[in-house]
Amino acid sequence: MTGEKKSVLILGGGLAGLTAAKRLADRGFEVRLLEKRDIFGGKVSSWKDEEGDWIESGTHCFFGAYDVLYDLLREIGSYHAVLWKDHRLTYTMSGGKDFTFNTWNLPSPLHLLPAIINNGYFTFGQMAAFSRSLIPLALQQRAYPPTQDHLTFAEWAEKKRFGSHLMDRMFRPMSLALKFIPPEEISAKIILDVTETFYRVPDASRMGFLKGAPSEYIHRPLVEHSRGKGAEFRTGASVEELLFDGTEIKGVQLTNGEILTADYYLAALPIHNLNRVLPEALKRHDRFFSDLDRLQGVPVISVQLWYDREITPVDNVLFSPDGVIPVYANLARTTPDYDTLRGEPFRGGSRLEFCVAPAAPLMQKMNDEIVAQVDRSVRDCYPASSAGAKILKSTVVRIPRSVYAPLPGMEQYRPTQQTPVGNLFLAGGFSQQLYYDSMGGAVMSANLAAEGVMKAAGVVEG
Ligand SMILES: Cc1cc2nc3c(=O)[nH]c(=O)nc-3n(C[C@H](O)[C@H](O)[C@H](O)COP(=O)(O)OP(=O)(O)OC[C@H]3O[C@@H](n4cnc5c(N)ncnc54)[C@H](O)[C@@H]3O)c2cc1C
C-alpha cells in the first residue's frame, strides 16, 4: 500500500476474523483484532482440559469442496495437517447393521455409480426413484436449488415421492450433520446445493480430518503470520456496540468502556452477537441491518466418550440415523494427536466424538443424562464391540447458538459482506457465499469482506 497506512478493526477471532486479518495484514493494512474469549477459533476452537486432553467445540470434517480453505492452509504451511480419508460415507444403524456409499475414481457423475447400484442397503428401485427426482438438478445444475428455498427438504421430498425410507435413513442424519436441524426444518436449497456439488465435483464429498487441534494447525499459524506483518490481536476484548453517526461507523465501544477507532470496521461475529452490537440507529438506517434479526443460531452439543476398547476401527466420518448421534468419528483413528487419555498415549481404546442433534430437547439436561443417551446410541449401533465396554472419560460441550439455521426463505436475509455503510464490512459463515456456515464458508466470507475493504481503500480496483 502506498501513502499512509489505512487501519482496520476486526471484531471476532473465529476462522473468518483470523482469515480477514491475514488477508488485510498481507496487503499492508494496520490490523487490530478483538476477540472476547481468551482463545481464538470460535466455533472451531480447541483447548486442553485440566487433564491434558484436547477438547474441541465439535467434530470438524474437512469437505473436499473447500478450495478456499486449502489455499489458506497452504499459505500458512498447514495443509500437510489435513489427513484425507478414503472416499466413502458409512452409516451405522441399530442392531449393528451398516451401509456404505463408495465412489469410483471416474469422471463426474460416474464416480457416484457404486453408491447407487451397490450400497448394500437401499434397493435399486429406491435409488432409481431418487435419481429421477434429481433430473431438474442435473439439467439446471446450480440454478435449481435457489428455486426451492421456499420448501423444507421434507416438503420437497414429499413432492418428489422418492419414499420415506431413503429420507429417514440417509437424509435425516445428513441434514442433522450439516446444520443440526432435521429435514422438516432445513431449506431444500441446502441439501440440493450439497447434492449438486457432490454430483458435479468428484472430490467434493471426500472427507479429511485435521491431524490434531485446530488451534495448533490453523489459529496459531494464522495469528503468528499476521503478527509478523504488524497485526495486533487482543483476547478478552468484548465489543459492546458499534458507534454509528448516521453516516458511518465512528468507533467501537468495548464492554470495559474503552473506545477504539479505525478507518474500516470488519465484523466477523456469530449472527446473534452481531445483532447485539449493532446499534438501533443502524437498524433504523437500513433494512439490511434490521433483517439480520431473522437469522438465528442452532443449538448443538458435542460429546466425547473414551471407551476402554475399540468400538469401531473406521478411520473416517460416520453417520447414524438411529439415536442421538447423527455424525461422529473415532478420533483415536482419524486424528492422531488426539489419541490420548489424561494426557498419556491411549492405545487400544476408542475416543469417539459426536455431534448430538437435534440438541434443543437435551440442552437443559445434566451431563450424565446426555452421556447416557449417547452411550445408549453407541451400544445400539455396536452391540458386539460395545458388550462389556466401560467409559473411561467423557466430556460435554454445549453450544446454545452455533451455526445459523438455514430455514426456508432465509437465503434472502443472508447479508453481503459489503454493507450500506461505506466503512463497515461483514464476514462469517452466515453471510452470503457458497458454503453456508462452515469452515469453507467462514474463509470465503473473509476473503470477500477483505476484498471489500481493499476496494474501499483503493488498494484493488472496485
Ligand atoms: C459442533 C460443530 C461442528 C461443526 N462441524 C463442522 C464441520 O464438520 N465442517 C465445517 O466446515 N464446519 C463445521 N462447523 C461450522 C464451523 O465451525 C463454523 O461455520 C465456522 O467456524 C464459523 O466461523 P466464523 O468465524 O464465521 O464464526 P465463529 O467461529 O462463531 O467466530 C466468531 C468469533 O467472534 C467472537 N465474538 C462473539 N461476540 C464477540 C464480541 N462481542 N466481541 C468480540 N468477539 C466476539 C466469538 O468468541 C468467536 O471467536 C461446525 C460447528 C459446530 C458448532
Mean pLDDT of the region 33-60: 97
Give the ligand 1 atom nearest the CA of 69: 11
Give the ligand 1 atom nearest the CA of 255: 41
CA angle 407, 412, 414 (to 5 degrees): 80
What residues are paired with 249 via a beta bridge?
244
Could you tell me if the CB of 61 is within 6 A of ligand 1?
yes
Q: What letters, b where the CB count within 10 A reaches 16 and e where it falls short, cover 365-388?
A: eeeeebbebbbebbebbbeebbee
- Per-residue pLDDT band for 113 (boundaries 50, 70, 90) equals low
Could you tell me if the CB of 438 is within 6 A of ligand 1?
yes
Q: What pLDDT sits at residue 112?
A: 61
Could you tell me if the CB of 273 is within 6 A of ligand 1?
yes
Q: Do domains 7-36+236-296+405-456 and 46-103+205-211+299-400 have the same CATH topology?
A: no
Q: What pLDDT sits at residue 347?
A: 83
- Could you write out the DSSP letters of every residue in 316-329? S-EE-SSTT-SEEE
pLDDT tens per residue across span 141-170: 899 999 999 999 999 999 998 888 889 998
Query: Does pLDDT of 2 surpass 60?
Result: no
Could you tell me if the CB of 166 is within 6 A of ligand 1?
no
Could you tell me if the CB of 297 is within 6 A of ligand 1?
no
Q: What pLDDT sits at residue 315?
A: 97
The pLDDT mean for the chain works out to: 94
Residue ranges of E strands in 308-460: 318-319, 327-330, 340-341, 344-345, 350-356, 391-399, 424-426
Query: Does pLDDT of 402 surpass 70?
Result: yes
Third-level CATH fold of 46-103+205-211+299-400:
Polyamine Oxidase; Chain A, domain 2 (3.90.660)
- Per-residue pLDDT band for 198 (boundaries 50, 70, 90) equals confident
Mean pLDDT of the region 403-409: 97
The one-letter code for the residue type at 128 is A
Q: Rounded to two decimals, what is the model's pTM?
A: 0.96
Q: What pLDDT sits at residue 99?
A: 87
Q: What pLDDT sits at residue 48?
A: 96
Could you tell me if the CB of 177 is within 6 A of ligand 1?
no
* 163: Cβ contacts below 8 Å, ≥ 6 apart: 126, 129, 130
- Per-residue pLDDT band for 461 (boundaries 50, 70, 90) equals confident
Residue ranges of domains in the chain: 7-36+236-296+405-456, 46-103+205-211+299-400, 107-204
Give the ligand 1 atom nearest the CA of 12: 34
pLDDT tens per residue across span 352-391: 999 999 999 999 999 999 999 999 999 999 999 999 999 9
- Least reliable range by pLDDT among 50-64, 121-135, 442-456: 121-135
Dihedral in degrees, nearest 10, Cα atoms 217, 39, 435, 425:
-120
- Least reliable range by pLDDT among 100-104, 136-140, 308-312: 100-104
Could you tell me if the CB of 32 is within 6 A of ligand 1?
no
pLDDT tens per residue across span 331-361: 999 999 999 999 999 988 999 999 999 999 9
d(CA 405, CA 436): 10
- Least reliable range by pLDDT among 21-25, 104-108, 193-197, 363-367: 104-108
Query: Does pLDDT of 114 surpass 60?
Result: no
Count other C-beta atoms under 10 Å from residue 159's C-beta. Answer: 11
* CA-atom Rg of the chain in angstroms: 22
- Closest residue by CA, ligand 1 atom 46: 42
Count other C-beta atoms under 10 Å from residue 235's C-beta. Answer: 14
pLDDT tens per residue across span 57-78: 999 999 999 999 999 999 999 9
Could you tell me if the CB of 457 is within 6 A of ligand 1?
no
Q: What pLDDT sits at residue 32?
A: 98
Q: What pLDDT sits at residue 119?
A: 65
Could you tell me if the CB of 14 is within 6 A of ligand 1?
yes
What number of H helices and E strands is found in the chain?
17, 22
Could you tell me if the CB of 170 is within 6 A of ligand 1?
no
Share above pLDDT 90 across residues of the chain, in percent, rounded to a whole number? 82
Pocket test for ligand 1, best of 10, 11, 32, 44 (most atoms within 8 A of CB): 44
Beta strands at 54-56 and 300-307: parallel, antiparallel or unpaired: unpaired
| Centre of ligand 1 from the C-alpha of residue 444, in Å | 14
d(CA 92, CA 330): 13
SS3 state of residue 236: coil
Q: Residue 78: which H helix or E strand, with range?
A: none
Could you tell me if the CB of 60 is within 6 A of ligand 1?
yes
Q: Report the largest interatomic distance among the alpha carbons of the chain, rounded to a whole angstrom.
A: 70
Could you tell me if the CB of 46 is within 6 A of ligand 1?
no
- Closest residue by CA, ligand 1 atom 12: 438
Four-way CATH pick for 7-36+236-296+405-456: 3.30.390.10, 3.30.465.10, 3.50.50.60, 3.40.50.11610: 3.50.50.60
